Amino acid sequence: MTAIPQERRLVTAIPGPKSQELQARRIATVAGGVGSTMPVFAARAGGGVLEDVDGNRLIDFGSGIAVTTVGNSAEAVVRRASAQLADFTHTCFMVTPYEGYVAVCEQLAELTPGDHAKKSALFNSGAEAVENAVKIARIHTKRQAVVVFDHGYHGRTNLTMALTSKNMPYKNGFGPFAPEIYRVPVAYPYRWPTGAENCGAEASAQAIDQISKQIGAENVAAIIIEPVLGEGGFIEPAKGFLPALAAFAKDNGIVFVADEIQSGFCRTGQWFACENEGIVPDLITTAKGIAGGLPLAAVTGRAEIMDAAHSGGLGGTYGGNPVACAAALGAIETMKELDLPAKAVHIEQIMKPRLAAMQEKYDVIGDVRGRGGMIAIELVKDRTTKEPAPEATAALAKACHTEGLLVLVTGTYGNVLRFLPPLVIGDDLLNEGLDILEQALAGI
């Protein structure tokens, strides 16, 4: 059990004096390009609570962006990572390997969709995993083009900036970008011009038509998609869209890559979001939730594709660090023991009806969507025009923050409030967080 009391507590204004002092030091020394959602400095965290340096306890609806799925400093993560820290901290897997790395790859083979032979390679960050998925798909297919989608997000390194769709803040001024990246429409049900019912079929037809006519299927190495789009605004592609693209990829020898960095590891109520429509991707990228907060990422996929790269072609000094691997084994053990996919479904069952009731009451909520512990509301100025309401979204987030509820803003139009609680959060905290949101809605 976590030591930190599972209750919200405000003892100063947000941010408090100690946080403000640290913020002044931070501004003097930390590069301005690195932003923060809230200027409160963390002291400790666990379960569904984050305590700041002034002693305020916030309800955590962010999980450090879908990372601390098992809760902060989860018991098994701390136990296994601490033991590993004491044994050795690093040898470099490319110099002398160790069991933890292999054990994580075994778990990934077991947990990811499909019963084909699978292999994995481990890295430090999600962006690095996506870059390596592209390398692997290219060497396997001997093709170069990579297809990504409107509203997609894949990271901030040079190649992944090119894969990412949103200019501000991710790309603006940071070019030139990598070549041979092509963006096609995604099935965004809420904003599909002819309505949500037609969205899956029409969007997949459009995407496939563009790939065929503008790139040529025979030139495409990989199609990369988030099964639930994260930074783009928690967009669940309309039913039929993902299966159509996966089938098109299969028919044309294209590597289908599911970027499950945000949606994976129990977040949506299944181990991986692509299971929702029975998709078996050729490659799957994971990070965020995989290791309870330690930096670890992976590419997992069909053995024959994963083995296409020559020895020494993949890797990195720290990739699959032994402490991060130990943490991952602890996180995965926790997910299994506590049945976190079921816990995510339970969270959805509490959140969705309450958010739907708020939508009835407040016109500003245009859409309620998401699955499991990956839920969002999209805010609009007008329900008919669906004009995005980024100002109201920012004001709502700020009102929640002031009351001690940590929420994150997302979406291409900056008008989506997303909820990513640790899946171990208690029902009381979850409901209290929703109460705060409801009060904040009344005030904006």
Ligand X SMILES: *Cc1c(COP(=O)(O)O)cnc(C)c1O
The residues binding ligand X (CB under 6 A) are: 125-127, 130, 153-155, 226, 230, 259, 261-262, 287-288
Start-to-end CA span in the chain (Å): 38
| Least distance to ligand X, CB of residue 341, Å | 19
Instruction: Give the bridge partners for 312, in sequence order.
Output: none
| Least distance to ligand X, CB of residue 68, Å | 14
4 or 66, CB closer to ligand X? 66
Residue matched to tokens 């690095």: 128
Count CB atoms within 10 A of the CB of residue 154. Answer: 32
399 or 420, CB closer to ligand X? 420
108 or 365, CB closer to ligand X? 108
Instruction: Give the bridge partners for 406, in sequence order.
Output: 60
Beta strands in 333-424 (DSSP E): 365-371, 374-379, 405-406, 408-410, 416-419
Q: Which two tokens stand for residue 377?
A: 């509301």
CB 211 within 8 A of CB 136: no
Which amino acid is located at 195 in the chain? Answer: G
62 or 126, CB closer to ligand X? 126
| Least distance to ligand X, CB of residue 268, Å | 12
Question: Whose CA is closest to 46, among 337, 351, 435, 424?
Answer: 424
65 or 399, CB closer to ligand X? 65
70 or 429, CB closer to ligand X? 70
8 or 267, CB closer to ligand X? 267
| Least distance to ligand X, CB of residue 137, Å | 16
| Least distance to ligand X, CB of residue 287, Å | 5
128 or 367, CB closer to ligand X? 128
Which amino acid is located at 329 in the chain? Answer: L
Sheet containing 374-379: which strands, arranged edge to edge? 365-371, 374-379, 416-419, 408-410
When CB distances to ligand X are compared, the closest residue is 126
| Least distance to ligand X, CB of residue 156, Å | 6
8 or 418, CB closer to ligand X? 418
Count CB atoms within 10 A of the CB of residue 13. Answer: 12
Please state whether beta strands 220-225 and 255-259 pair in parallel, antiparallel, or not at all (unpaired): parallel
The tally of CA atoms less than 13 A away on the side-chain side of residue 111 is: 28
| Least distance to ligand X, CB of residue 152, Å | 8
| Least distance to ligand X, CB of residue 262, Å | 3
Please state whether beta strands 145-149 and 57-60 pair in parallel, antiparallel, or not at all (unpaired): unpaired
| Least distance to ligand X, CB of residue 153, Å | 5
- How far apart are alpha carbons 122 and 133 in whole angstroms? 11
- How far apart are alpha carbons 86 and 339 in whole angstroms? 30
226 or 282, CB closer to ligand X? 226
| Least distance to ligand X, CB of residue 213, Å | 27
125 or 132, CB closer to ligand X? 125
In Å, how far are 232, 374, 396 from 235, measured between CA atoms? 7, 10, 20
- How far apart are alpha carbons 199 and 111 in whole angstroms? 31
| Least distance to ligand X, CB of residue 67, Å | 9
CB 160 within 8 A of CB 130: yes
Count CB atoms within 10 A of the CB of residue 27. Answer: 10
Alpha helices (H) along 194-319: 196-210, 241-251, 303-306
